[in-house]
Structure 1
Amino acid sequence: MDINGASSAALSSRQTLDSNGGYAEEYLLPTNHLGGRGADGIGSINNSGREGLGPMGGGNNEWKYEMRREAQQIIPGLYLGPFQSSTNLTKMKLMGITHVLCIRDKKESSLIYPRFPTEFRYMTLDISDNTDQNLITIFPKCRDFIEEAMTMGGTVLAHCNGGIALSPAIVVGYLMWKFNLSADNALAYVQSKRYCVSTMSFQNQFKEYEPIQMAQKMVQNAGFGAGMGNVNKRQALDEEDGEEDEEDRRRKQPMRSELISDISMD
């Protein structure tokens, strides 16, 4: 069970009627703790909100090879794609892109760089596509960048060179944190939206990140809310104790002075 009271490892499903009159299976993932329908609900995303993850897959759209050259919407406010998807200004504006998370290998810096720095806000990170690269230390800054954009009502395009490993790994980490998902569920969800994703180099790090992000959410939800109230209560009690101690010292001080005077006179 995750901290929201719902299992983050289990996928729920439902049958929906498709355009051909048949039935299609849709897989749903749990809403996050900010969800508008309750923390333990199973929600899907529509155009009116971002409260949770929607059905896995792209509906009735069959994945085609050329789609790997385009960006796919992972959740409202977050697209994932290759570098090529960040070079078409007209299309990016039609998608509503406001922020670009540019992930590249250092040796690609001369080819992959912000193309429209006056049009969008960029974060550019040099990351190696190998097992030695520590992604866990990079997740927080990427998470903050995406969260800031969404809070402003913006839309983020996360991309690397091919949109297959580096930027998908960052998006997987973000979904794990945002929705309290297991590594397997987060990866499955991203792959259902962008079929060509392959993040085998980072699988072990995803597993290591699971307990870390869960602990962070526990501190954030339990500690920041009720915990801050307890801190304030403790501070108030400490202040009261301090006042009482000072009053006791005042009462006791004359007694000690008189005693010292009596002893001196003797």
Structure 2
Amino acid sequence: ARKSLCHQVLRGLWLGGCAALENGCAELRRRGVRHVVSVISAEKRRLPDFIRKHLHIMADDKEEAAAGLRSRFKEVCRFIDAALEESRGGVFVHCGAGISRAPTAVTAYVMWKLGIPAAAALQLVRTA
């Protein structure tokens, strides 16, 4: 079986790496994604027109960059929440490989949205 390029964490909330943006974001289109959060060290890239909103956060994957990402958690949470509330489309949160920065941002959202502790939120994200 082909490894999935994105994994559903909560209804409408998807997590993965940059690979899901290839082929005109075909993987995202197939899953009904309409909003993207990029947590990457690269410049903002142009996404296909079916992506309605794109939040781009410049963040390196080095540990010293963690504080910069942490300072944007509130913005990320509000973006994801508004996107899930307003649209029928989902939200895809990604970093380079989908194993560090994006899961951290999604874990912050899960904690905020569900009001659960970090360990429980992280477990939910890891099992997605």
Residue 45 (structure 2) aligned to one of 113, 118, 136: 113
| Number of the residue aligned with 1:130 | 62
Distance 1:185 1:143 in 2: 17
Q: Which residues in structure 2 correspond to 1:119-158 (within 5 Å)? A: 119-120=50-51, 121-133=53-65, 134=67, 135-153=69-87, 154-158=89-93
Larger radius of gyration between Structure 1 and Structure 2: 1
Q: What TM-score does the superposition give when structure 1 sets the normalisation length?
A: 0.43
Distance 2:75 2:21 in 1: 20
* Contact 1:77–1:156 (8 Å) recurs in 2: yes
Distance 1:157 1:140 in 2: 17
| Number of the residue aligned with 1:99 | 35
Distance 1:170 1:114 in 2: 21
Per-residue deviation, residues 205-247 of structure 1 (Å, max 9, x unmatched): xxxxxxxxxxxxxxxxxxxxxxxxxxxxxxxxxxxxxxxxxxx
* Contact 1:102–1:114 (8 Å) recurs in 2: no
- Identity rate, percent: 25
Distance 1:115 1:76 in 2: 23
Residues paired across the two proteins, number: 123
The answer to whether the aligner puts 1:70 opposite 2:5 as a matched pair is yes
Letter in 2 for 1:113: R
* Contact 2:5–2:27 (8 Å) recurs in 1: no
Distance 1:141 1:188 in 2: 23
| Number of the residue aligned with 2:19 | 84
Letter in 1 for 2:54: Y
1:123 Cα shift?
Answer: 0.9
Per-residue deviation, residues 148-184 of structure 1 (Å, max 9, x unmatched): 1111133101111100101111000100111111111
Q: Which residues in structure 2 correspond to 1:1-266 (within 5 Å)? A: 67=3, 70-88=5-23, 89-105=25-41, 108-109=42-43, 113-116=45-48, 118-120=49-51, 121-133=53-65, 134=67, 135-153=69-87, 154-193=89-128
Per-residue deviation, residues 58-106 of structure 1 (Å, max 9, x unmatched): xxxxxx7x52x6101111110001101122433322211110111101x
* Contact 1:102–1:113 (8 Å) recurs in 2: no
Q: What TM-score does the superposition give when structure 2 sets the normalisation length?
A: 0.86
Instruction: Give the RMSD, CA atoms, in angstroms.
Output: 1.8
Letter in 2 for 1:144: R
Distance 1:74 1:155 in 2: 11
Distance 2:31 2:10 in 1: 13
Distance 1:78 1:86 in 2: 16
Larger strand share, 1 or 2: 2
Which fold has the larger relative contact order, with Cα–Cα distance below 8 Å and residues 6 or more apart in sequence? 2
